[in-house]
Structure 1
């Protein structure tokens, strides 16, 4: 005869069996048996610190008003410890949208920077004869304010998304406001002297947060020098490469790559032009410079721009471009890292095209959960999804990060990395804050965070030799970080 105790025992066993079966699917499960005793102890501290800022029974600061809680989160013990954590790589960050606000404001103090109140645009004029009608030097405008700091404060407000826009607008309305930043400052950010400074600042902010590999999204063209002469494609790439080499003198383990971007709104002709420039560049550049470019992407707001399908012919024709160098055919190794699924609309099928074309990583992938067959493909092909938690929140794709689709997909074994997309226009630097929000909203533990950090390296486009070298560096830094956690006062 079956007793009540037998039924309860059977129920308990079934629950445990189901839980174990589910755990086998989680994206970080492969690390479970490899965690050291010190890591297991550190995890207890890690979870305790996480719950100080993200406790669903009291207050989870990562799911409430970003503008109200950002500073508090950045001042937390959890932020301080995650900031020191080694991070394998950042896969998704735009070269001219990741600057420190103070750096940009400082740039406007250069006498070559002007502003037009009529056009609401900043421009650089390197010589007096170049100045266009309606533009005033920013430094002269500062003189009209009783306190120049007031000018800078107003400028600071105009450089970032604000609370009213984020929480009282639709996603498309937020995007329109967001796009004005790029339009307003494009001319200034593309002046080579300032471009170099902004990209260096981007790299420095991530190095400071212990990131080993950075892969920047970069749209080529329209950069210019002191004589207002446009830089060639090679000059542009050389400029970025020189910044990297300068930083590697003091940070020898730092690696950076460029993922070139074509703008969908500019059509196929624009995309083909970039591919032609890549091909020409790869034919004539030296080997070290060639290795800088490792990927290609298509950008623009997904809901209001042409679909990837319209560019499929160009993408397929130029996949892994083959060039002739020294009489021999060489494959450039350009891979696709396509923005896709940054939308709620199930009728958009960019993800289907991206995966069919052979994208190696997916930018955002917010919409992926709608398509079970694609989830299966992503797992089988080991495609990493570049998740940008704060970007998805602030651009209106999810109001509550607990409901972010990737928080479900990681339980099904989808691999992710964490990036920050456009932090300069969101009011912060680097990527640590994105880790904070992901950990707090998705209740990530140390095993999960380690897996994400390793994914940043393992799914990067650096050479296999570099990966082996950097993995040793990562492991050493990780062990030092674990020791740091264990030494924290109770």
Structure 2
């Protein structure tokens, strides 16, 4: 190709760039308003200014800081940035991929559990400076007749292994040499979260980090599934989501009645799944009523549940859960949004293993007069042609409404085409993918490939309590900080798509989109004003 002038070359270059980016949501949007253009530019300038300033500084204990770096190491820097502060005010639409048991800050969970005398804790051996780093706490709500006085502390050398101690007593009597009550809190917190050393050193493979990841659920499940705590937990999840600009939530709840039941306040009676869903509904409605009284009803449109169970059960066992899901849908049609199978795809059963009952599920729904779409996890893997990677084919053939993670989708051009044709949105969980070792940083994440191919994406948090990434602001930050192409407009388009591709009915979506647009316009004003103030102050201090 030849050019007669620099101007002609520049024109061809600009045309090629536009053609290459034509499928992106922010480019498909068309002409920006004056306010949108200003806010987008200002936020880009803030990003560039902080990349050249705060991220180029020396930070103790962080040898290589850069925007979009590994989250657990860079988190302390992220929270210092103006960019993070601005994004914290952004209306983020819906949260479409989050596992309920890992959505609330662990400090809230621990403080809540402390208030219930039924909650007891034990350890497999006495805790000391040698054992504390490897022994996990075990929790259990005990009925009145089985509760103990807890005379011997977990840290007493005479502690009998696996002896239950009241939670508050265990904290109160924790050895001062191990930090006392604050040391107890650190021990519990470490068991419920993943720290940088675990993610990037000791467990730096997919299978190893999943072992640590799964262990956090083993520890927290007896707390979260204790009915009084569960109600407070759901409420806190909703309120903290609203505080982060999320107006709709669609959590996955693991229903495992046969193996890991919910327990009533008496710490003895099992609660069936109907009561769990009913309780969830009551909490949601209570929050909506409170917001309405405060004149804030447009801040929270509502919530639905994706019924999930673990892909370690047998196909025969799955049929019980499918029937259970149908029964719940019939009684709570406004709440049950879909069905999913969850768990580590690399080691548990693939979707193909369950084809017979999953195909039968369609006929079961027809007979029951309900409709429950599949919303499958698929290809949360580095595999290429493995069973986990092949889950994409089965998810699409089974008619999945959305795809959870879809990390390996970029390897499948035909499947990308199908997702676009059928309107299958991808629930992308950036921080989760990085911490669970699918990518080393946001710069290596395949998200830009999906955006550039015109695939619909909703940003999600997955398991924020485990990662210390509460809400969605951290995920939005990581995506924005790691790209020069992605700007505020692209983030806004993904937020809108999280509403459009949610399980809300058309009227709810219309209301949610109108409320989001109103808040978005206010946010654009804020982002432009705050960003300009910051840039002006930065200039005067240089």
Which TM-score applies when normalising by structure 2?
0.84
Structure 2 residue aligned with 1:276: 323
Q: How far does residue 19 in structure 1 lie from its aligned partner after superposition? A: 1.3
Indicate how the Cα distance of structure 1 residues 304 and 14 shifts in structure 2: closer, same or farther if over 3 A, else same. same
1:224 pairs, out of 242, 263, 267, with 263
1:238 pairs, out of 265, 278, 281, with 278
Q: How far does residue 30 in structure 1 lie from its aligned partner after superposition? A: 2.1
Aligned-partner Cα distance in 2 for 1:41–1:163 = 37
- Paired residues for 1:457-476 under 5 Å: 457-476=499-518
2:182 pairs, out of 149, 159, 162, with 149
Aligned-partner Cα distance in 2 for 1:199–1:317 = 32
- Paired residues for 1:213-362 under 5 Å: 213-220=248-255, 221=257, 222-227=261-266, 228-251=268-291, 252-253=297-298, 254=300, 255-283=302-330, 285=331, 289-319=332-362, 322=365, 330=369, 332-348=370-386, 349-362=390-403
Q: How far does residue 55 in structure 1 lie from its aligned partner after superposition? A: 5.6
Count of residue correspondences: 478
- Answer yes or no: is the 8 Å Cα contact 2:137–2:191 preserved in 1: no
- Answer yes or no: is the 8 Å Cα contact 2:70–2:434 preserved in 1: no
Residue 117 (structure 2) pairs with residue 114 (structure 1): no
Question: 1:326-370 deviations in whole A, cap 9, x for unaligned?
Answer: xxx73x231111000100111230001101111111100100011
Indicate how the Cα distance of structure 1 residues 274 and 15 shifts in structure 2: closer, same or farther if over 3 A, else same. same
Listed as ranges, the gaps of 5+ residues in structure 2 are: 57-64, 125-135, 149-160, 292-296, 537-542
1:139 pairs, out of 168, 171, 180, with 168
Question: 1:189-216 deviations in whole A, cap 9, x for unaligned?
Answer: 1111111111211111110011111100
Structure 2 residue aligned with 1:407: 448
Q: How far does residue 476 in structure 1 lie from its aligned partner after superposition? A: 0.8
Question: 1:221-271 deviations in whole A, cap 9, x for unaligned?
Answer: 311102321112211110110110011013323211100112101222332
Residue 19 (structure 2) pairs with residue 21 (structure 1): yes
Indicate how the Cα distance of structure 1 residues 133 and 483 shifts in structure 2: closer, same or farther if over 3 A, else same. closer
Question: Matched residue of 1:385: which SS?
Answer: strand
Indicate how the Cα distance of structure 1 residues 5 and 472 shifts in structure 2: closer, same or farther if over 3 A, else same. closer
Aligned-partner Cα distance in 2 for 1:47–1:134 = 56
Aligned-partner Cα distance in 2 for 1:128–1:61 = 56
Q: How far does residue 58 in structure 1 lie from its aligned partner after superposition? A: 6.4
Q: How far does residue 420 in structure 1 lie from its aligned partner after superposition? A: 0.4
2:142 pairs, out of 96, 102, 125, with 125
- Answer yes or no: is the 8 Å Cα contact 1:27–1:412 preserved in 2: no
Q: How far does residue 14 in structure 1 lie from its aligned partner after superposition? A: 3.0
- Answer yes or no: is the 8 Å Cα contact 2:426–2:457 preserved in 1: yes
Structure 1 residue aligned with 2:103: 98
1:32 pairs, out of 30, 47, 61, with 30
Structure 1 residue aligned with 2:129: none
- Answer yes or no: is the 8 Å Cα contact 1:160–1:426 preserved in 2: yes
- Answer yes or no: is the 8 Å Cα contact 1:94–1:422 preserved in 2: yes
After the TM superposition, which of the residue ranges 55-64 and 172-181 deviates more from structure 2?
Answer: 55-64
Structure 1 residue aligned with 2:414: 373
Q: How far does residue 53 in structure 1 lie from its aligned partner after superposition? A: 4.2
Aligned-partner Cα distance in 2 for 1:66–1:384 = 25
Indicate how the Cα distance of structure 1 residues 208 and 57 shifts in structure 2: closer, same or farther if over 3 A, else same. closer
Aligned-partner Cα distance in 1 for 2:479–2:420 = 21
Question: Matched residue of 2:30: which SS?
Answer: helix
Aligned-partner Cα distance in 1 for 2:162–2:205 = 36
Structure 1 residue aligned with 2:46: 49
Aligned-partner Cα distance in 2 for 1:381–1:477 = 30
Which TM-score applies when normalising by structure 1?
0.92
Question: Matched residue of 1:266: which SS?
Answer: coil
Aligned-partner Cα distance in 1 for 2:345–2:53 = 33
1:176 pairs, out of 187, 204, 211, with 211
**C-alpha RMSD over aligned residues:** 2.2
Question: 1:12-71 deviations in whole A, cap 9, x for unaligned?
Answer: 3432232121121223322132x2111111111111222244469964644334333212
Question: 1:364-398 deviations in whole A, cap 9, x for unaligned?
Answer: 01000111111111111111100100000001100
Question: Matched residue of 1:6: which SS?
Answer: coil
After the TM superposition, which of the residue ranges 13-22 and 369-378 deviates more from structure 2?
Answer: 13-22
Indicate how the Cα distance of structure 1 residues 5 and 210 shifts in structure 2: closer, same or farther if over 3 A, else same. closer
Indicate how the Cα distance of structure 1 residues 9 and 341 shifts in structure 2: closer, same or farther if over 3 A, else same. same
